[in-house]
Amino acid sequence: MDEKEIWERISYVESSVKSAHHRINSIEKLTQSVSDMVVEVRHMREDVNMVRSEIEELKKRPSRMFDKLVGAAAGAAASGLTAILISRIFG
């Protein structure tokens, strides 16, 4: 192998190494982007879970109001019946 072939091979190897470094840098950037996306997805998951729990609370709220309404109506009816009975007993 003469000196010219050696320099050609060295040149080819240098070119190949540069190309490999560029690919590695691209992969590192891609890896960082994926890592950033994972963090964002985790935050989004937390937000979705929070929204779900708030929706569940809102779903329960109308039934609570209905229960209070029924309780108030029952209390009013019982008070009315008690007033009628007392008025008939003493009236």
Helix (H) or strand (E) holding 1: none
Give the SS3 label for residue 2: coil
How confident is the model at residue 85, as a pLDDT? 85
Residue 31's pLDDT is what? Answer: 95
Return the biggest CA–CA distance within the chain: 131
The pair of three-digit structure tokens given for residue 68, joined into one six-digit string: 């209070």
Look up the pTM and report it.
Answer: 0.50
- Residue of 69, 65, 42 lying closest to 57 (CA atoms): 65
pLDDT score for 91: 65
Going residue by residue through the chain, which has 91 residues, state the pLDDT in tens, using 9 for 90 and above: 799 899 999 999 999 999 999 999 999 999 999 999 999 999 999 999 999 998 888 787 777 778 888 888 888 888 988 888 888 888 6
Structure token pair of residue 65: 């109001």
